[in-house]
Amino acid sequence: MKTSFSSEFAKRYGLYALVTGASEGIGRCFAEELAKAGVNVVLVARREDLLHTLATHLEGTYGVLCPVIGADLASPEQVEDVFQITDQIDVGLIVCNAGFGTAGNFLDGDIDTELNMLSLNCVAVTRMVHHFGLKFKHKGRGGVVLLSSIVATQGVARSAHYAATKAYIQSLGEGLQQEWHGSGVDLLIVAPGPVETGFAKRSNIQLGKSESPDVIARQSLKALGRQKVIRPGVLAKVLSLALSTAPRWLRIKIMSSIMGSMTKQLPQ
């Protein structure tokens, strides 16, 4: 059933949203929440089979259209393919969600994996935001959702490079919010704490308490156009409140100690 969000969304952003990393986790929940609200969603990720299954589910359940694009966004050529394929689609909102993390001591990690993460978490997002940002600015309307993290606001030992990729996103988003003020283009930075998805397994971290990904997606879409940064879920709120008055050196120590306890199983 379509909600009032549907017509509100179409008026504000257009007919289509595009979600990267829609095959699993938080991105899949963003796609579901958008479809539930009657918004057509372009689904992007590498595992096309999962995207097609999701598209069938969303189209059948919510009566929306869900084109599927299989792309490895760590590849600049494949990001370019996404731009070409969507050229004739009125995309009004992008959710730059695809990403992964690495953990453990930086020097123990594989440099190619680190650079692949940089390509996906930062370079691809920068390309997407520039490409669609130009279109949105020209139209005088649009929305961008960026996935930052609770680790983005200080250095974090044993996930140093992942935290740096999210600091990049946090800073990019904050700067663009100022540049785009009054342009009709909304930009929301989403900075969750631990979320129950495939992320922890791929990043080699062991989560204790974690938030459900649909909470992240729901609260983010509610905040879009109303807030600049959100820390969805109870965990992120409690943690960021606890850290808010601490000086940066102390935040580094606390977050590094938390990450240390999540990576005990990795070489010290």
Ligand X SMILES: NC(=O)c1ccc[n+]([C@@H]2O[C@H](COP(=O)([O-])OP(=O)(O)OC[C@H]3O[C@@H](n4cnc5c(N)ncnc54)[C@H](OP(=O)(O)O)[C@@H]3O)[C@@H](O)[C@H]2O)c1
Nearer to ligand X, 120 or 239 (CB): 120
Nearer to ligand X, 48 or 139 (CB): 48
Catalytic residue among 13, 16, 62, 162: 162
**17 φ/ψ angles, rounded to the nearest 5 degrees:** -110, 155
Nearer to ligand X, 114 or 141 (CB): 114
Report the residue count for the chain: 268
Is 162 among the residues known to form the active site?
yes
The number of CA neighbours under 13 Å toward the Cβ of 35 is 25
- Min CB(221)–ligand X separation in Å: 15
131 CB-near residues (< 8 Å, 6+ apart)? 83
Nearer to ligand X, 11 or 201 (CB): 201
Structure tokens at 222: 């509610």
The strand pairing partners of 147, in sequence order, are 190
Q: Which residues bind ligand X (CB under 6 A)?
A: 20-27, 45-47, 50, 72-74, 97-101, 120, 147, 149, 192, 194-195, 197-199, 202, 213
- Min CB(84)–ligand X separation in Å: 16
Q: Where does residue 15 rank: exposed (0-12), middle (13-18), buried (19+ CB within 10 A)?
A: middle
210 CB-near residues (< 8 Å, 6+ apart)? 193, 194, 195, 196, 200, 235
- Min CB(153)–ligand X separation in Å: 12
- Min CB(231)–ligand X separation in Å: 10
**Residues known to be catalytic:** 162
